[in-house]
Amino acid sequence: MTSQKFITLQPTGDKLPLVGFGTARIPNDDTEQVIYNAIKAGNRLIDGALSYGNEAQVGQGVRRAIADGIVKRQELFIVGKLWNNFHEKQHVKSIVQMTLDNYGLDYIDLYLVHFPFATEYVDPKQPFTLTNAKNELKLIKAPLQETWRELEALVDAGLIRNIGISNFNVQLTLDLLSYSRIPPSVLEIEHHPYLQQRRLVQWIRSQGIQVIAYASFGNAVFEAVPPGTEHLENLMKHPVIVDIAKKHQLNTGQVLLAWAVNHQVVVIPKTVNVERMKSNLDIDHIKLDDDDLQKIDSLEANARFNDFYVGNYGFEFPLFD
């Protein structure tokens, strides 16, 4: 099995692999086998979310890998996320239990608040939505402090080992740190050479919070991109990345992942291709030199692709402004 490096989470001391596997946008019919293959290929960090709609199938793949003796439960690091419809304190415990039931596990290693805003409750058996029938975003008054208290109680109960946040900025994190009894272990953000968020990453890590990157391949991940970013070349085909890949006899995905890991940022690439699963994991030996890193750093474009705009989510919401 491919060896992996880890970073240590606070306050638990749990080890988080620097390279894991993402589960978004995998068709439900394929998910169980894809997850099984990913674990067999050596992945131990599985990043999932209720809103992806395939949690139960992820759980099937995980349980099959455990049953076949490929891995022990304690060797896996499983992530779940609280969707916006369930921030109200009376819903948190039941939604976490739903994730545990979907995964078929007694505890979850890391549970994140998916986005820092709350929307109207919906029946979790229905497809999740951020808008009503009129395509309007309906925000509700569900203080994050109350949501966080519920998550802390679930840590106390042993159902969650680590709690964290996703898509938060410094101000929101600073506020959370002012009242949290159990501080967030992780911040998960969009992170790639076109959106490096260096100041955010540096400050977050100074607070003892580790960073997980999603969309490490940038605009190569998204079918649609926000207005104003159409001119940016597909990051996987960018001449700078292609040249570095040729120099080190790598594929461009490996270069992008190695760049992030070099900055001690955890990556969770997704692929359904078994050979690509293996090559994504096989980056421990990659040593990008200072010239490589400087060239990749120079691609910064402050380009956020997972943003709330009409062409993507159907409404405008300047969450990240």
Name 68's Cβ contacts closer than 8 Å, sequence gap at least 6.
none
Please state the rounded mean pLDDT for residues 157-186. Answer: 98
Active-site residue list: 52
d(CA 69, CA 152): 33
pLDDT in tens, 26-56: 999 999 999 999 999 999 999 999 999 999 9
Half-sphere CA count of 266, side-chain side, radius 13 A: 31
pLDDT in tens, 48-69: 999 999 999 999 999 999 999 9
318 occurs within a structural domain: no
1 occurs within a structural domain: no
Binding residues for substrate: 114
Question: Which of 34, 33, 2, 31 shows the shortest CA–CA distance to 19?
Answer: 2
320 occurs within a structural domain: no
55 occurs within a structural domain: yes
Interstrand relation of 266-267 and 186-190 (parallel, antiparallel or unpaired): unpaired
321 occurs within a structural domain: no
Answer whether residue 132 shows pLDDT above 80.
Answer: no
pLDDT the model gives residue 85: 95
pLDDT in tens, 90-121: 999 999 999 999 999 999 999 999 999 999 99
Answer whether residue 155 shows pLDDT above 70.
Answer: yes
Question: What does the DSSP assignment read for 229-266?
Answer: -TTSPPGGG-HHHHHHHHHHT--HHHHHHHHHHHTT-E
Question: Which of 21, 86, 77, 90 shows the shortest CA–CA distance to 50?
Answer: 86
d(CA 87, CA 240): 42
pLDDT band for position 3 (50/70/90)? very low
CATH of the domain at 51: 3.20.20.100
Q: How many domains does the chain have?
A: 1
Question: Which of 223, 240, 212, 243 shows the shortest CA–CA distance to 301?
Answer: 240
Binding residues: 114
Q: Which two tokens stand for residue 287?
A: 């040593």
Q: Which two tokens stand for residue 247?
A: 């120099």
Q: Which domain holds residue 203?
A: 6-313
Which region among 133-142, 254-263, 298-307 has the lowest average model confidence (pLDDT)?
133-142
pLDDT band for position 4 (50/70/90)? low
